[in-house]
Amino acid sequence: MANEASKIELVNSTGNPLRYTCDDGPAITKGTLLKLSNPRTVAQSDGAADLFAGVAAMDKVANDGSTEISVWTNGVFEMAASGAINAGERVETAAEGSNLVKTSTETDFAKLVGYALDTASGGKVAVRMLR
């Protein structure tokens, strides 16, 4: 996996992690942007109008028998940017590649990752997650 989100600051020092169900098969790397599906299940984001769940707070080893993962839902993260992003703009997962964010005109709160705290530089942007 590439382009993992890097934790800058967690709100309440914990990031309000939630436990979600996940498939046993795939590996999930800490820092992966996760999409939500029903019932309360997460998987790696593919950027296709994802309902955003949060950022993986731990590594999940493929086929390890585990079907749960901890997910950060509240904090500031450095994320890989797809294209230009300006401070204050809303961001969503990007379809161009794994673990990328892009500017958003999305009005559905569930699809927003958050908003940019700075202008993307060197392909990275600080994002305040909105969960």
Write down the number of H helices and E strands in the chain.
0, 11
Burial of 62 (0-12, 13-18, 19+ CB in 10 A): exposed
Q: Domains (ranges, CATH) in the chain?
A: 13-72 (2.40.300.10), 75-129 (no CATH)
Q: What is the pLDDT of residue 14?
A: 87
Q: What is the pLDDT of residue 2?
A: 83
Rounded Cα distance between 37 and 32, Å, is 16
Q: Which residues contact 13 (CB under 8 A, 6 or more apart)?
A: none
Q: Scan for tokens 């890097």, then name that residue.
A: 6
Going residue by residue through the chain, which has 131 residues, state the pLDDT in tens, using 9 for 90 and above.
Answer: 689 999 999 998 888 899 999 999 999 999 999 999 989 999 999 887 789 999 999 999 999 999 999 999 999 999 999 999 999 999 999 976 679 999 999 889 999 999 999 999 989 999 999 77
Adjacent-strand bridge partners of 71: 18, 56
Q: What is the pLDDT of residue 1?
A: 62
Q: What is the pLDDT of residue 96?
A: 67
To the question of pTM greater than 0.85 for the whole model, the response is: yes
Rounded Cα distance between 104 and 112, Å, is 8
